Amino acid sequence: MEKRPFIIDCDTGTDDAIAILAALGSDAIRVRALTSVNGNVNENFTSRNNRDLVGYLGADVEVARGAKIPFYPRAGYYDATHGSEGLGDVTLPAAENVPFTKETAPELIRRIAEEEEGRLELLVVGPMTNIAIALSMYPELKEKIRHIWFMGGAALGGNMTPTAEFNIWVDPVAAKLVIASGIPMTMVGLDVTLKAALNREDEQEIRSFGNKGAVLAADILDYMIRRYADGGEDALMHDALAAAAAVCPQCLVCHDYFVDVECQGEYTAGHTMVDRRGRTGKKPNVSVAMELDAMALPQPKVLNFTSVMTWVLGSTLIYIRMMSPHLALPTSPMPSAFSILPTFRGFWKWSMTLSLYNAIVGSSLSNQMGPPARLQFVPHRGHLPQIR
Active site residues: 238
The residues, ordered by sequence, that sit 6+ positions from 283 with a Cβ below 8 Å of its Cβ are: 258
Q: Is 171 in the site for ligand BDR (CB under 6 A)?
A: no
Q: Is 8 in the site for ligand BDR (CB under 6 A)?
A: no
Residue 368 has phi, psi (to 5 degrees) of -70, -15
Q: Using CB under 6 A, which residues numbered 92 to 151 contact ligand BDR?
A: 125-126, 151
Measured from the CB atom, the residue of 7 and 341 that comes closer to Ca ion is: 7
Q: Is 307 in the site for ligand BDR (CB under 6 A)?
A: no
Q: Which residue is nearest to ligand BDR (CB)?
A: 166
Chain centroid to CA 328 = 27
CB of 368 to ligand BDR, least distance (A): 33
Q: Is the dihedral of CA 68, 12, 269, 276 positive or negative?
A: positive
Q: Which of 5, 13, 88, 172 touches Ca ion (CB under 5 A)? A: 13
Q: Is 240 in the site for ligand BDR (CB under 6 A)?
A: no
Cα gap 263→269, rounded to integer Å: 5
Measured from the CB atom, the residue of 152 and 298 that comes closer to ligand BDR is: 152
Measured from the CB atom, the residue of 16 and 203 that comes closer to Ca ion is: 16
Q: Is 13 in the site for ligand BDR (CB under 6 A)?
A: yes
Going by their DSSP bridges, the two strands 252-261 and 272-275 should be labelled as antiparallel
**In what side-by-side order are the strands of the sheet with 286-292?**
62-64, 29-36, 4-10, 120-124, 145-151, 185-188, 286-292, 252-261, 272-275
CB of 38 to ligand BDR, least distance (A): 12
Cβ pair 188, 150 in contact under 8 A: yes
Cα gap 119→113, rounded to integer Å: 8
Q: Is the dihedral of CA 159, 162, 165, 168 positive or negative?
A: negative
Q: Is 66 in the site for Ca ion (CB under 5 A)?
A: no
Q: Is 73 helix (H, G, I), strand (E, B) or coil?
A: coil
Q: Which of 40, 46, 316, 353 touches ligand BDR (CB under 6 A)? A: 40
Measured from the CB atom, the residue of 5 and 13 that comes closer to ligand BDR is: 13
Q: Which of 9, 16, 107, 171 touches Ca ion (CB under 5 A)? A: 16
Q: Is 238 in the site for ligand BDR (CB under 6 A)?
A: yes
Contacts with Ca ion by CB under 5 A lie at 11, 13, 16, 125-126, 239
